[in-house]
């Protein structure tokens, strides 16, 4: 099974230091949902792994988070895309959980749910902790220069990023990279 694990805020949708608390505040980044649809059509499943400490901090509740994700699923579907599952950490940083990125708990849950080898899975995010969580379980790391990583545009990658991190302008560029590369290495059909 071909699986891509995406961060949410700053990778799929516009990030906010004030947290995304309502469906109205959830706005897709340009081309991001179209990129998910292109990945789906090329045979990739898409899961989301997201820190949502706003829950633990009491800034919004699960009903609001479900409504935000309903909007995200509906917006993706309108463009022919599908997000198979959303895994999130509901804890605040001081709760000492195992699922808040950069810890790999969410990725382990995704691996179990999908029964997939995480070493052949790509992780995409806009922060070093997104990628560290993925590489801890063997995922291949990809940084998108949107969200918090916009500040890194035109700069060399800080050494804190996992070795082998591939940098893309945005999720659309990542999708193009992956689809093109997969086509290039696919075995040719017999004549």
Q: Which residues are catalytic?
A: 7, 9
Contact with Zn ion (CB under 5 A) among 42, 59, 85, 97: 97
Per-residue contact flags (x/-) with Zn ion for residues 49 to 88, judged by CB under 5 A: ----------------------------------------
Residues touching Zn ion, count (CB under 5 A): 5
Using CB under 5 A as the binding rule, whether residue 99 contacts Zn ion is answered as yes
Cβ burial 135-158 (10 Å sphere, 16+ → b, else e): bbbebbbbbbbbbbbeeeeeeeee
Tell me how far, at minimum, the Cβ of 133 lies from Zn ion, in Å.
11
Tell me how far, at minimum, the Cβ of 155 lies from Zn ion, in Å.
31
Tell me how far, at minimum, the Cβ of 82 lies from Zn ion, in Å.
25
Tell me how far, at minimum, the Cβ of 52 lies from Zn ion, in Å.
9
Contact with Zn ion (CB under 5 A) among 8, 91, 122, 168: 91
- Which lies closer to Zn ion via its Cβ, residue 97 or residue 166? 97
- Which pair of tokens denotes residue 66? 């479900």
Contact indicator for 176, 34 with CB cutoff of 8 Å: no
Using CB under 5 A as the binding rule, whether residue 5 contacts Zn ion is answered as no
Q: Which stretch binds Zn ion (CB under 5 A): 70-78, 99-107, 130-138, 181-189?
A: 99-107
Q: Which stretch binds Zn ion (CB under 5 A): 80-88, 91-99, 109-117, 145-153?
A: 91-99
Residues whose CB is less than 8 angstroms from the CB of residue 150 and which lie 6 or more positions away in sequence, other chains included: none
Contact with Zn ion (CB under 5 A) among 8, 45, 100, 101: 100
Contact indicator for 171, 12 with CB cutoff of 8 Å: yes
Cβ burial 105-134 (10 Å sphere, 16+ → b, else e): bbbbbbbeebebebeebbbbbbbbbbbbbb
- Which lies closer to Zn ion via its Cβ, residue 81 or residue 134? 134
DSSP string covering 111-136: HHHHT--GGG-EEEESSHHHHHHHHT
Identify any residues that bridge with 141 across adjacent strands, giving them in sequence order.
123
Contact indicator for 24, 68 with CB cutoff of 8 Å: no
Instruction: Output helix, strand, coil percentages for the chain, rounded to the nearest 5.
Output: 40, 15, 40
Residue ranges binding Zn ion (CB under 5 A): 89, 91, 97, 99-100
């Amino acid at each position: 099974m071909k699986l891509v694990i995406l961060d949410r805020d700053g990778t799929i949708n516009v990030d906010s230091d004030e947290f995304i608390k309502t469906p109205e505040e959830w706005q897709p980044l340009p081309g991001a949902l179209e990129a998910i649809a292109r990945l789906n059509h090329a045979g990739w499943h898409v899961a989301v792994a997201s820190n949502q400490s706003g829950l633990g901090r009491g800034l919004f509740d699960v009903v609001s988070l479900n409504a935000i994700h309903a909007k995200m699923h509906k917006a993706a579907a309108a463009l022919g895309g599908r997000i198979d599952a959303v895994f999130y950490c509901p804890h605040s940083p001081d709760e000492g959980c195992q699922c808040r990125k950069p810890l790999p708990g969410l990725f382990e849950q995704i691996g179990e749910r999908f029964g997939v080898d995480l070493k052949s899975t790509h992780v995409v995010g806009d922060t070093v902790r997104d990628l560290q969580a993925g590489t801890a379980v063997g995922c291949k790391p990809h940084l998108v220069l949107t969200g918090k990583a916009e500040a890194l545009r035109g700069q060399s990658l800080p050494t804190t990023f996992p070795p082998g991190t591939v940098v893309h302008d945005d999720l659309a560029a990542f999708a193009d990279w992956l689809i093109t590369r997969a086509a290039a290495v696919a075995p040719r059909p017999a004549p």
